[in-house]
Structure 1
Amino acid sequence: MSAAAERLPTRTTALILLISLIISVGIGLLAGPERQQLSEVSSGDAELAQRVRTAAGDGAGDGAGLRSVVVAEVTSTSVRWAGLGNADAGRRPGVAPTDQTIYELGSVTKTFTGALFADAIKRREVRPEDTLEKHLPELRSTAAGKVTLASLAQHRSGLPRLGATAEAAVFSAMLNENAYATSTTERVIADAATAPVTPEQPPTYSNLGVSLLGTALVRAAGLPDYPTLVADRITGPLGMTGTTLAGDYPELPEGAVPGFTANGLCTPRWVGTGYLPMGSSTFTTLDDLAIWAQAQLTDRAPGVDALQPTADFDDRTRIGWTWFVTPGPEGTTDTWHNGGTAGFRSMLILDRANDRAVVMMGNSDVDLDPIAASLMHNTPPPTAERPVIAQVLAALPVVLALLFGITALRRALQGIALLPAIGALLTGVFGLLLLWSSGPWAAVGGWLWGIALAPVLAAAAILAARARTLSFLPERRVWLAWLELVIGAALVGLGIALW
């Protein structure tokens, strides 16, 4: 090592490390990734809220991974509801949601489409055996045009899960973007015209199929679009005034709660007209969803015949017109549908024989099915141990962030050239971005991110202090230093995209 590139005094280095650690942990606690868990605030029925906490919290009642939830227990004559957690965009504890708070409904919207199908059959606008091409002539002479409306409602059409346009945009969803922005109704029909149809495949859950079914029902009714059909035949007659289907951003309802990823980042809205019938962008309140559930229990719902099973879905599950039917405990029968969009989950379970229903919505990406089932049947939620590979994958971003940060710190402390140290520092920044986007934030808080930030922050400070004494390029393997810089910059770009 040249005299000009001497290391900083030990006391100076120790002071920088200590200050960096204090600042970093403080940043992590105040502004780092927020652990998603139910805060202590609640509204509505206190006893129901406590039962939800017990069912959701692995014994601690903190609802790991949940941000806020609303839940209702419904009978033909009553509704009990509770809201828990933080429904604001800010940090804990926030303001608890109510039965009027607007959430995204997701695929529970398919129960609207199934009901509209049953209602259209009753109105003699369509028949179960009708083919798609009868109502969507754009699909004449195509494989999709030959599938029946009944097979679409049963997920037995042989169509794939998504059309080509939405499938191509799946990577957008991974980058926290709207994957349905380019899937207009016309585009969905065009995708169906070229979609493969595999009649021999087992029942396959198809968002494309249900969207085509909804579009065919709109045509059969002579109405302009799917939101109009829903308003005309479901939400209007039942008085569900808090429900909106948003085909474009100006149609988003004011005050809808934001959805969140596991690290506390807001998720995009999946607006777009093509997949509205499957639930890409439906907004509703707990009050409206309880009305919908109660209408099923009292047979007041339009198209209530959709609840009746018409085919097998798998070894344990039967299916009606989009509704799933499975055996529950002690001889009960659950008729249900769940849903999920970016940063939202929902669940609706009916036990019509015993006049009970549970509806639940939340604004994080944690499934609500086991919590809703626990409330429905008064049973403890199932405890599922995470596979070892899942635990390893959860820890990997932490390990990489610390490894990259420590490497950057070592280069800053011991390096004799600026360029490779900058490359290592960029890789350390990538580790922080990766950890932010993929860390175990359902289990720990932002302090962990702060600890990973500490060596990177210290490396930057030490590098700044030594910069004047370092040569820009190393004496040997200059190409490797440039390569490290390019790779580091590329990784930072990737990390920003993931973040």
Structure 2
Amino acid sequence: MRRTTVIALVVALIAGLVGVALMPRVPRLGAHTTGDPNLAAATRSVTPDPSGHRGLAVALFEDGRIRTAGLGDRDLAGRPVEPGTPFEIGSITKALTGMLLADQVAAGVVDPDDRLGATWPQVTGPASDSTLAELASHRAGLPRLAPTSVLGWARILWANVSGGNPYAGQGVDTIRSAANRVSPDDGRGEVHYSNLGPSVLGHALAAKAGVPYPELLHARLLRPLGMTATVIVTRDDDLPAGRAQGSRASGRPLDPWMGAGYAPAGAGPWSTVEDLGTLLAVILAGTAPGADATTARFRENDDTRIGYGWFTTRYGDREVVWHNGATSGFRSYLGFERATGRAVVVLGNTDRGVEPIGLRLLGLPETEAGEAAPVTPVWIGAGLALAFTFLGGLSLLGTARRRELDRVTLLAAAVWAFAYLGLAHRMGDWSVVPAWLWPLGAGLSAAGVALAATRWRALPVVDARVPWRRLLSVASSVVAAVLAVTAVAG
């Protein structure tokens, strides 16, 4: 027993040391600076905690001039962010879709009170009664996402676990089918944020124009403004060169989002602070196509109103017109004040929010700018990190010490021990949990393997009254563990 304990401790120590080299690395805003040095310095001064940010691109418009800067790294290789580096901009595209509506209204093509069914005749279900203005302002009573099957939800869950693209394979037909199946809920007329509503709107406007949504956006908005770096990506081959790489604030790299169906709501758009800075400058000048979309029309709450995709929020005696974006590995923010004529763009390549940075650059005090709300509650990411790091090792140690045991049971426990470690590494929020805990978990799992190895020869292959049932149970467990390993390794 003493010899076994010594072996387990030595193996645990070695595994822990190896784990130090492999433990999660939380990104920090790097030292690289490009573009305007004063703007870069100002951005660093309003980003007191660089942990969780890898790179930022910023544009500031004031006194009739646009300044741009890049800070930190655009990818894991450490290449610097530049003002022309493309970032995923996510839901900022909802604001562009709102501008498309305002542009088409100004051109006399549609009316904001037109019904969806009249604009997109292929939509004949209950949602066809929604107006274009309701779709643009999240007041159509539509769900956040299109209803899907059990397999569809499983695919989305798998994408979230593996860091993949949850919108893959969801085309325009997906949105049209959803619009035909869903019924507006009792919240119609009230602001309830939706990805489905703006997607339906974008494709309805495109159907009216007889071209796909990306072509309509390019023809009516991007090309007139010279926004040549702003693109809607629907295939891997079309991803922009020199783009930033997205990741979680805990360091896990993530795949880009793309899907033609949800493109008008934020799946697939890429842009730069140079392009988006130009957009805000011409909106403030009143010369942008569809600039009227930024006019606040409907009340969300005491402090916030919404136009066609654009929100207007009051901070004390100041009003900021804005929209933000969030994909799995990027965050974005646009904001401007009509009273001061100042506008800001902030793009980041992790899932740590950038809204407070933008508000501080607009001149709002820290008490008003607040802190970025996490995508999920902090306790969830911290809990996943702690539980998965130690659960597998503790379970394996407990299994290896059983009196009645067989090899298949022990093998399943060993596979799960390392599957849990992988899940902890990829899914835990290591920006709030000390990363050095992960090597301790690796050592614990390795100690369990060492203890299991000392008993292996003396164990039967299967020790159960009904061997096939035991084998089936363990086999299903091993398959699940392999799937988990595949997910975290992807």
TM-score range, shorter chain: 0.7 to 0.9
| Separation in 1, partners of 2:392, 2:158 | 27
CA distance in 2, matches of 1:102, 1:393: 28
The 1:230–1:401 alpha-carbon spacing in structure 2 relative to 1, beyond 3 Å, is: same
In the TM superposition, what is the alpha-carbon distance from 1:385 to its structure 2 partner?
Answer: 10
Match of 1:338 among 280, 299, 324: 324
Number of the residue aligned with 1:270? 257
Q: Structure 1 residue 422: deviation in Å? A: 2.6
Residues 63-462 of structure 1 aligned to structure 2 (within 5 Å): 64-75=51-62, 77-90=64-77, 94-140=78-124, 142-165=125-148, 168=153, 170-175=156-161, 176-198=163-185, 200-201=187-188, 202-222=190-210, 224-329=211-316, 331-380=317-366, 381-382=369-370, 390-391=378-379, 394-409=382-397, 412=400, 419=407, 420-443=409-432, 446-462=435-451
Task: Give the secondary-structure state (helix, strand or coil) at the position aligned to 1:138.
Answer: coil
Distance in 2 (CA, whole Å) between partners of 1:236 and 1:111 is 17
Cα pair 1:233 1:302 within 8 Å, conserved: yes
Deviations 1:277-332 (A, max 9, x none): 11211011111111111111111211111111122122321111111111124x22
Match of 2:39 in 1: 48
- What is the rounded CA distance, in whole Å, between the counterparts of 1:192 and 1:405 in structure 2? 48
Identity of aligned residues (%): 33
**Match of 1:84, SS?**
strand
Distance apart, 1:170 and its partner CA? 3.7
Distance 1:383 1:134 in 2: 43
Asked if the contact 2:385–2:433 (Cα under 8 Å) also holds between the matched residues in 1, the reply is: no
Q: 1:210-239 deviations in whole A, cap 9, x for unaligned?
A: 1121122223334x2111112112111111
1:147 positional shift: 1.2
Secondary structure in 2 matching 1:391: helix
1:26 maps to 21
1:44 aligned partner, one-letter code: G
What SS class does the counterpart of residue 117 from structure 2 fall into?
helix
C-alpha distance 476-150 of structure 1, shift in aligned 2 (>3 A): closer
Paired residues of 1:25 and 1:454 also in contact (CA < 8 A)? no
TM-score of the aligned structures, taking structure 1 as reference length: 0.86
**Equivalent pair of 2:62/2:341 in contact (CA under 8 Å):** yes
Q: Matches of 2:325 and 2:371 in 1, distance apart?
A: 21
Code of the residue aligned with 1:372 in structure 2: it is G
Instruction: Tell me, yes or no, if the aligned pair for 2:4 and 2:454 is still in contact at 8 Å.
Output: no
When residues 461 and 310 of structure 1 are mapped into structure 2, their CA distance, relative to the original with a 3 A threshold, is: same
**Given the alignment, which residue of 3, 10, 13 partners 1:8?**
3
Note if 1:492 corresponds to 2:481.
yes
Counterpart of 2:12 in structure 1 is: 17
Secondary structure of the 1:441 match is coil
The alpha carbon displacement at 1:414 in A equals 8.0
**2 CA distance for matches of 1:355 and 1:281?**
30
Cα distance in 2 for residues equivalent to 1:35 and 1:359: 24
Preserved CA contact (<8 Å) 1:111 1:323: yes
Match of 1:354, SS state, is coil
Between 47-56 and 187-196, the greater mean CA deviation after superposition: 47-56
CA gap of 1:9–1:463, structure 2 versus 1, over 3 A, is closer
Would the alpha carbon gap of residues 473 and 74 (structure 1) be closer, same or farther in structure 2, given more than 3 Å must change?
A: same
After TM superposition, the score normalised by the length of structure 2 is: 0.88
Following the alignment from structure 2 to structure 1, what is the Cα–Cα distance between the partners of residues 105 and 59? 31
Q: Which moved more, 1:469-478 or 1:364-373?
A: 469-478
Distance 1:401 1:126, change over 3 A: same
Matched residue type, 1:334: V
1:496–1:16 distance in 2 versus 1, CA, 3 Å? closer
Q: Which amino acid in structure 1 is aligned with residue 44 of structure 2?
A: R
Amino acid at match of 1:128: P
SS at match of 1:315: coil
Residue-by-residue CA offset, 1:195-220 (whole Å, 9 max, x unaligned)? 11125443211222111211222233
Find the aligned partners of 2:5 and 2:136 in 1 and give their Cα distance: 71
CA RMSD of aligned residues (A): 3.0
Cα 1:225/1:12, change in 2 over 3 Å: closer
Unpaired segments ≥5 residues, structure 1: 1-5
Indicate if the aligned counterparts of 2:234 and 2:268 stay in contact, CA closer than 8 A.
yes
Q: Distance in 2 between matches of 1:128 and 1:417?
A: 70
- Closer/same/farther in 2, CA of residues 132 and 462 from structure 1, 3 Å limit: same
Indicate if the aligned counterparts of 1:7 and 1:413 stay in contact, CA closer than 8 A: no
Please report how far the alpha carbon of residue 421 of structure 1 lies from its aligned counterpart in structure 2 after TM superposition. 3.2
* C-alpha distance in 2 between matches for 1:361 and 1:197: 34
